[in-house]
Amino acid sequence: MISGSISTTYQAKINMWEALSEFLVERRDDLIYGELLIISFLFSLVMRKIRWGIVREMCSGLIGISLIYYFIGWKLLYSLLIVIFNIIINSVVKNRYLPLISFITTFVYLGFLRAIHLIGFPALVSHSNAIQLIMTLRLVGLSFEIADSRRKDETKFDPQKTRFIKEPSWWQAFLYSYNFPGLFTGPYYTYAVYRDVVDNDNIMEISVWEHIRWRLYNFAWSLPAFILLLYAFPLEMMRKDEFFNETVFYRISISFLIFLWMRCRVYSAWMVAESICVLNGIGIYPEESCPSVGKGPNRIDILKEQMNRKGTNYNSEAIRSLDICSIELNTSFRGVIRAWNRTVQFWLANYVYKRVPRSVGMLLTMSVSAFWHGIYPGYFLSFLTVPLCTLAEDNILSIVRKDPNDKLPLLFTVFWYIMRQLGFTLMASGFLLLTWRDTIRYWNSVYFHVHWIMITVIVFSWFYKSLMISAGSKKSIKTDIKMASNKTTKWIELIVYHDIPRKRSIILRSEPYENKIPTYLLIYFLKMFSACEEFVENNIFVFFICCNHQTIVVCQNIAYKYICEYR
């Protein structure tokens, strides 16, 4: 009897260790990432002992190259080739097409590497892919910074708020490309932010432990949560036939829990990655210099005045990739998007969205983001769902009235928070399942519920606003005009009279700065409100909003009235 009990206990222990071993083997890539982060963290502690910036610059670059070779071997050549190419074009191409050439060639090369296994070369996967992603951002971003600095004499800018880099030598560009903080997991930082550390021999005298402490607190809960949730709800569950025999509620619940461990995985990794940057002094700026994500300080005068001065308060906002509280608690799609992977969003906004015509900006930015992440169909399916969700959100928020404290009704807030969770859970499945077959199979099993809900919200919002406009009588319109501010009424009339876009732009340029604010609210507000009429001459939809008024319907009625009278 006792012998049988001992045998059973022994067998249970064997089974437990076998399960643990199998679990660790399956997560081999995560273990290697963990090793990378630990080694980088230890190197960062050593780097804090080095005062001279040029020594730190050279050591950080050599450490980056050494770590790449140690972990992926001769795949180091994949990144080396494109780094050398970009260094050459930065030196040879002196015209304004430098960023375009760098952008196209670097992204085409990234796409080629993702298919290189088809011609017999080692595949670009896992760690080698992550390195190439960061390298792409750094190289293209550097070409834009160089091009902007070359054109600074042709640009009007405020020297107190804007700065340009000194064009780097070939070896400085090379060492920046391989600088080990952020090289394997991010965050992305510009060459200007990098030079702020290299050119400051006293940067290591600034205490950074308060900026690391809260990140390690987040790491302390997110890592165990990731391991436990991953063990209980592995991704393979969503690929098994048994999973699709369960109820829709079960399938959505499991995908939600899988998305939760995905977030915890990112939280734990990026908290360490950000801490590595902070230890190296990257992204540490005086609070009063108003540092922003990716860019760094927005008040250059205060930066020069307060950096390294005794008693200065610092923050690390410039390399903060995640705002975990907003990701978990924010009720809006846009709020969560802004809080996630913020340094990459800065890169996309600064080097894609702001550099192309506004009409194609959003579509092109989403396409570049999807291609940068990978060429799997799941990425594109997820990214193409984002505009649908944000469009629905913009429309529903335009008809929901806020209370006097500018807060949305509690019932609506709870409802939209659930919609937001459902939306990102569905989109995350595309990132995790990757293939067209697996992603569409899951989305079909939950009846594309997010897509249908968002389409319903959009149609309902448009229908509701159309009814409100139709219900506006002539008497109510006159009352509305009296309620609106005189300045706003004047601008609506002025803009409608000058229907030709060129004349309208001349008006905008010639008017004093303080008069432009209501104008910008009135013209081309293309997403928030759909109550409009099409101008015959130029087929441009112009959306009007009245300033200083609480009722959206009133604003729409005023705009509708003026358009009808002056067309």
Q: Looking at the annotation, which residues are catalytic? A: 373
The C-alpha atoms of residue 437 and residue 376 are separated, in whole angstroms, by 11
The C-alpha atoms of residue 294 and residue 187 are separated, in whole angstroms, by 8
Element (H, E) at 242: none
| Total residue count of the chain as it appears in this document | 567
Classify 292 as helix, strand or coil.
Answer: strand
The C-alpha atoms of residue 339 and residue 362 are separated, in whole angstroms, by 18
What is the separation, in whole angstroms, between the first and last Cα of the chain? 97
**DSSP of 167-189:** PPPHHHHHHHHT-STTTTT----
Three-point CA angle 153, 357, 107, nearest 5°: 85
Contact 189, 343 (CB under 8 A): yes
With b for 16 or more beta-carbon neighbours within 10 A and e for fewer, the 269-297 pattern comes to bbbbbbbbbbbbbbbbbbebbbbebbbbb
Q: For 275-330, where are the E strands, in sequence order?
A: 285-286, 314-315
How many helices (H) does the chain have, and how many strands (E)?
24, 2
The C-alpha atoms of residue 263 and residue 226 are separated, in whole angstroms, by 8
- What the block records as the tokens of 244 is 């699709």
Q: Residue 43: name the closest of 33, 56, 52 by CA.
A: 56
In the chain, the amino acid numbered 470 is S
Q: Cα dist. 70→74, 127, 177 in Å?
A: 9, 11, 17
The C-alpha atoms of residue 307 and residue 287 are separated, in whole angstroms, by 10
The C-alpha atoms of residue 83 and residue 86 are separated, in whole angstroms, by 5
Q: Residue 90: name the closest of 167, 152, 196 by CA.
A: 167
CA 514 to chain centre: 32
The C-alpha atoms of residue 156 and residue 7 are separated, in whole angstroms, by 81
Q: Cα dist. 334→392, 397, 401, 424 in Å?
A: 11, 12, 19, 11
> Would the CA dihedral through 222, 224, 227, 231 be positive or negative?
negative
**Contacts of 219 by beta carbon, 8 Å cutoff, 6+ apart:** 267, 268, 271, 272
CA 551 to chain centre: 33
**DSSP of 56-107:** HHHHHHHHHHHHHHHHHGGGHHHHHHHHHHHHHHHHH--STTHHHHHHHHHH
